[in-house]
Amino acid sequence: MGLSILDWSIIVGYLLLAAGIGFYYKNQASQSLEHFFLGGRNLPWYIAGISMVATTFAADTPLWVTEKIAQHGISGNWLWWNMLIGGMLTTFFFARLWRRAEIVTELEFVELRYSGKAAAFLRGFKSVYMGIFLNAVVIGWVNTALAKILEVFFDIPASETIYYLAAAMGVVVLYSSLAGLLGVAITDFVQFFIAMAGCIILAIVVLNTEQVGGISGLKEQLPAWRFDFFPQIGSSSVADQVGTYSLSIGAFLTFGLVQWWASWYPGAEPGGGGYIAQRMMSARNEKEAVFATLFFQIAHYCLRPWPWIIVGLCALVLYPELSIEDSSKGFVYAMRDHLPSGLKGLLLVAFLSAYMSTISTQLNWGASYLTNDLYKRFIRKDKAGESPEDVQKDYVQKARLFTWLIVLVGLFASTQMQSIDQAATFLIECGAGLGLVLILRWYWWRINAWSEITASLAPFVGYLLANQLLELPYPYNFLFTVGLSTLAWLVVTFLTPITESEKLKQFYHKVRPDGWWGPFKKADHEKSNLRALALCWLSSIAMVYMLLFAIGNFIFQDYQAAGIEFSIALLCFFILRKQLKITRIFDF
């Protein structure tokens, strides 16, 4: 497929803009590690929040949603919509604490909270495991999605896409290695609006094609189950079949009561972590950290999915011959076949934006672990006569070198994606049981480094027993792994020495968490906010789900249902507002 001069001008102009942002913020990023990896802790809430949204909008995301629409209709989105519960928990129970800790990386928290050789081992191991291996997995599957787009749009042979991916990553590493998180966040801000505008335009264009005929024509040509918002709760699960997403009662209860707090998965860690924690730590203050994370949850679940969903439904009408395995290509075919000159370039830029925002974050976040938690903590030796400025300059130089290292590893992972993807699935399933430790380490003084080490390793044993030896089906294999892991880390917690009292005391008085800190809590300490925070959490979950459904019903012209849902969302907002006053997070 050929692109016009206008299309190419839009693409080249965008790439020059991204590179220009990198050069513009280079000097600010070079000041220190804090400036390179946290933007000097001076990001306003809307920059930090939009950066979170842009990062989770990768090139693969609309394609994955399109595939789920082909398989289960709108209800298939509950595979990720259920994660809102854990996301809102992070917003109200952890965002302030991450910012208050005043650390550079998530892994630095390990030695802020724990003591001894076990803490040092945990920090060093995770710096390599997460900074290189898990990063390579994420970069690999994001590159695979972009390769699919390049194949369809430009008829590029699959064997040659790696060269184009290398070029795209070259632009990303240019601005991310120069400008650090500040440049990444500012670029994310621009990329988010480009990507959203492009997807909205595509949805409007394909919806109004002659073949689809608008919302009424779409509803006439597709079976009613395609428009179901909710999964079917029944006696058996048909998650792998075509039809409304169906869950057994056990699987439904696992989704709603266990999975959101028990599982660890990159980008949705219980209690926050990864690039989400990085954005919270980069906010101007605690209040803006909470506001940024709240905005992220609203935009991520309410605003962003509907253009993808509409295109996915329209693709079923436009390309009925596509199999489920190839259904994700429907989104790209819609771009290729139905956009005029200029808009093709804009949509390609939208996908480039989504791709670059994710890759740039992975590079900066991974380099932060390798620099701050490996090189600075374990490798670098102080030299006589060095000034503080020389030390910070060395750290920033190493951060840039590590950024390039991650690029090379990520490109290699992209060439091995079939095996890497299987490894990623295995790793995510083996996170069952770790989540509770990541939550309780903030709220219970007895958790120690051995608790977290055990909770990180035990799920691998549980996974192998449940799936290979016992051959349990879902959700029983998941629940078995969670139960085994939880029992293991609880036993280890009480059999191993507690964290040094002085370390716990310093942590408590620095971070001031709620919860079970009896031996270290002063009588005159801040009043507990747990009840108000719990009400904030519950009311915000209800508010976001009601907004999500209200927008969907408005699009599909069920105005009565949309009005009821919006009214409930408004009521939940007032409850949330009242509880926020009690917590003193915001001043209304």
Residue pair 275/358 in contact by the 8 Å Cβ criterion: no
Residue pair 306/551 in contact by the 8 Å Cβ criterion: yes
**Exposure of 367 in the CB half-sphere (CA atoms within 13 A):** 32
Q: Would you say the C-alpha torsion 22, 25, 26, 30 has a positive or negative sign? A: negative
pLDDT at residue 2, rounded to an integer: 59
Question: Nearest-CA neighbor of 517 among 504, 532, 534, 531?
Answer: 504
- Strand partners for 233: 247
**For the chain, give me the number of helices (H) and strands (E)?**
28, 2
Give the C-alpha separation, 18 to 356, whole Å: 9
Q: Would you say the C-alpha torsion 577, 578, 583, 588 has a positive or negative sign? A: positive
pLDDT under 70: residue ranges of the chain? 1-3, 235-241, 266-267, 417-428, 522-527, 585-588
Give the C-alpha separation, 574 to 577, whole Å: 5
pLDDT tens-digit profile of 57-84? 877 788 889 989 999 999 999 888 988 9
DSSP helix/strand/coil, 247: strand
Name the residue with tokens 């209200």: 550
Phi, psi of 210, deg, nearest 5: -65, -35
pLDDT tens-digit profile of 372-428? 999 999 998 877 777 888 888 899 999 999 999 999 998 888 887 665 555 556 666
pLDDT at residue 141, rounded to an integer: 79
**Exposure of 460 in the CB half-sphere (CA atoms within 13 A):** 6
Give the C-alpha separation, 586 to 532, whole Å: 13
Give the C-alpha separation, 294 to 543, whole Å: 12
Measured in whole angstroms, the distance separating CA 233 from the mean position of its chain's CA atoms is 27
pLDDT at residue 524, rounded to an integer: 47
pLDDT at residue 588, rounded to an integer: 39
Give the C-alpha separation, 166 to 173, whole Å: 10
CA torsion angle for 268, 332, 139, 441 (degrees, to 10)? 0
Give the C-alpha separation, 353 to 335, whole Å: 15
CATH number corresponding to 5-421? 1.20.1730.10
Give the Å distances, CA to CA, from 192 to 60, 296, 470: 15, 12, 45
Give the C-alpha separation, 189 to 18, whole Å: 11
Give the C-alpha separation, 271 to 287, whole Å: 17
How many residues in total does the chain contain?
588
- Sketch the domain layout of the chain as residue ranges: 5-421
Q: Which residues of 541-580 are buried (b: 16+ CB within 10 A; e: fewer)?
A: bbbbbbbbbbbbbbbbebeeebeebbebbeebbebbeebb
